[in-house]
Amino acid sequence: MSNPGPSRPRHLRRPVTMTLAVGGLALAACSAPGGGTTPVSTSAAPASSAAAAPSCGTGEVTLSAYFETGFPLPKALTAEFTKQHPNVKWNIREDQFAVITQNAPRVLTDNPPDLMRLPQMSELAKDKLLKNLDAYAAAFGWEKWPSSQLVQLRMDSAGQRGSGSLYAMGLNFSLTGVFYNKDLAAKIGMTEPPATLADLDADMDKAVKAGILPIQQFNGGATGGLLFPLQNLMAAYGPTGPINDWIFQKSGATIDTPDNLKAAQHLEQWIKDGYFPTDINAIEYTDANARFGKSEGVFMFNGDWQNAAYDKDLPGDVGFFLMPPAEADGSPAAMSAPLTYGIAAKAKNADCAAFFLNWVASNDEARKIDVAIGGSNPGGPADATMPAVTEGSVTNETLAAGPVVGKAGNSMDFIANGTSAIFAQGWTPELQKMVGGKQDAAGLLKAVQAEYEKELSQ
């Protein structure tokens, strides 16, 4: 998902004090050995000099890192970190999302990096491949940050996410929703974001009649891009609580609910109505964004990490809105997630890696990079100052949407995070079958739930 950093802003908004109101949750999925039932230790992993706040010291340090290809934010942050801490160099490995999904357990076991993108943490923590970060949380004061920033990164001794010890941190807190091309929207008579799902459907119908592609989206390879509109539709039709229960593996949770069936049926109808590109199963993430940047499609379901690229490709012409509810009095909801990173249990430079994670959320320059390149809320202490934002950028709209979701209490984790392999073995192939007419809405949910239960039983 490569996107060059934005040019230096010419007109900046005055910085404002912010409190993170979005209960962000992890976005993406990563495979690991079978779920298992091994209890997770709640004792904090030892951290040298933790009580005195660990650092990278003054001697030469080379941090090993495993990042996801296409995200410019982590490398921009590491470059700035080395600029401020010249004794720290980086040995960075990057892979596509699907590769990280396959490799995570083996990498953490055989060649444990100091810092690693964690698309999914449950099984990795259960298998004791991740360092318990409680000692660092105490040393750096993370426990005093808004609890919503960390709740999704915790796991208790029974392997239940949402409470207990901390096993990961977020580089920032992303928000997903619906991006739209303002020029194309004007051509179909859309003068304001749709208030209901029916309004959104009507706008898409107008696009079809005008000969304009309604939705640009990706679903090729292992990208599973139709999960973005599907989960938005789930939130439009029902509460987010049961969705998070399923992702957090709560006993008896199921994705195959009446509300979710309505959502899947709605997505299936969008496919049949020709709202997506005919070759969507061949479109990768970067290709879809490039097409959107060339005004191919009115709407795109995506996250704010793409803001900088959208502002570069279509300056001032990209807007954003939260998925509208099915009913006019419904509450807004969104996937809201930290860009999740963890430290390997056997990392050689764990203290320095933890120091970096704290620096990302607390250093002024790092927070500026989070907003300018990541397009997202940098999180951190409740009284931290929000960096200035370029006037007219789509980042203004995504940042404004975050507190709206937070106030409504309708943040969701990503449904690809239900288990380590549900993204690759369940969602992606079943959604591709649906595009090909070989799967329907009911069959999709039943197949994914069966895969989910299979993985949890292993």
Chain centroid offset of residue 356 CA: 20
Per-residue pLDDT of the chain (458 residues; tens, 9 = 90+): 333 333 333 333 333 333 333 333 333 333 232 333 333 333 344 444 444 789 999 999 999 999 988 788 999 999 999 999 999 999 999 987 767 877 888 999 999 999 999 877 888 898 999 999 999 999 999 999 988 888 889 988 888 888 899 999 998 888 999 999 999 999 999 999 999 999 999 999 999 999 999 999 999 987 889 999 999 999 999 999 999 999 989 899 999 999 999 999 999 999 999 999 999 999 999 999 999 999 999 999 999 999 999 999 999 999 999 999 999 989 999 998 788 899 999 999 999 999 999 999 999 999 999 999 988 889 898 888 889 888 889 999 999 998 898 888 898 989 988 888 898 899 999 999 999 999 999 999 999 999 999 999 98
DSSP single-letter state for residue 425: I
| Domain-located, residue 262 | yes
User: Is the distance from CB of 215 to CB of 276 less than 8 angstroms?
Assistant: yes
Contact 242, 249 (CB under 8 A): no
The Cα 215–Cα 178 span in angstroms is 10
Residue 46 included in any domain? yes
Torsion sign over Cα 283, 289, 290, 296: positive
Of the residues 397, 412, 427, the one at which a domain ends: 412
**26 and 65, same domain (yes or no):** yes
Structure tokens at 326: 């099915």
Element (H, E) at 176: strand 169-181
For residue 179, what are the β-bridge partners? 300, 320
| Torsion-angle region of 437 (φ positive above 0: left; ψ -120 to 50: alpha; else: beta) | left
Q: What is the largest CA-CA distance in the chain?
A: 65
Residue the block writes with tokens 């029974």:
158
Calpha distance 309→114 (Å, rounded)? 29
Dihedral of CA 370/371/377/380: which sign? positive
Of how many residues is the chain composed? 458
Q: How many whole angstroms separate alpha carbon 399 and alpha carbon 20?
A: 10
122, 29: one domain: yes
Residues 294 and 199 in one domain: yes
Tell me: do 366 and 447 sit in the same domain.
no
At a CB cut-off of 8 Å and minimum separation 6, what does 170 contact?
Answer: 24, 26, 149, 153, 337, 338, 339, 340, 341, 379
Q: In the chain, how many domains are there?
A: 2
Q: Is residue 294 part of a domain?
A: yes
pLDDT on residue 45: 40
Residues 217, 307, single domain; the answer is yes
- Contact criterion met (CB below 8 Å) for 455 and 34: yes
What SS3 class is residue 90? strand
- The CATH number of residue 252's host domain is 3.40.190.10
**Residue among 92, 91, 90, 123 nearest 106 (CA):** 123
Task: Calculate Rg over the CA atoms of the chain.
Answer: 21
Domain assignment present for 7: no
The answer as to whether 9 is a domain residue is no
CA angle 169, 173, 178 (to 5 degrees): 145
Taking residue 64's Cβ as centre, other Cβ atoms within 10 Å add up to: 19
195 and 253, same domain (yes or no): yes
Q: Could you tell me which residues are beta bridge partners of residue 412?
A: 335
Quick check: 211 and 203 in contact, CB under 8 A? no
Residues 268 and 362 in one domain: no
Residue 364 CB neighbour total at 10 angstroms: 11
Residues 50 and 40 in one domain: yes
Judge if 310 and 408 occupy the same domain. Answer: no
Residue 4 inside a domain? The answer is no
Nearest Cα neighbor of 323 from 174, 194, 140 is 194
List the domain range (segments joined by +) for residue 327: 175-335+416-457
User: Quick one: 98 and 190 in the same domain?
Assistant: no
| Residue 297 covered by a domain | yes
> What pLDDT does residue 53 have?
86
pTM: 0.82
- Per residue, the 3-state secondary structure of 257-313, as one string, reads CHHHHHHHHHHHHHHHCCCCCCCHHHCCHHHHHHHHHCCCCCEEEEEHHHHHHHHHH
Based on the fold, state whether residues 283 and 350 are members of the same structural domain. no
- Provide the token pair at 358: 């704290």
Shared domain for 406 and 428, answered yes or no, is: no
User: Is 82 contained in some domain?
Assistant: yes
Give CA–CA dist 42/16, Å, rounded: 38
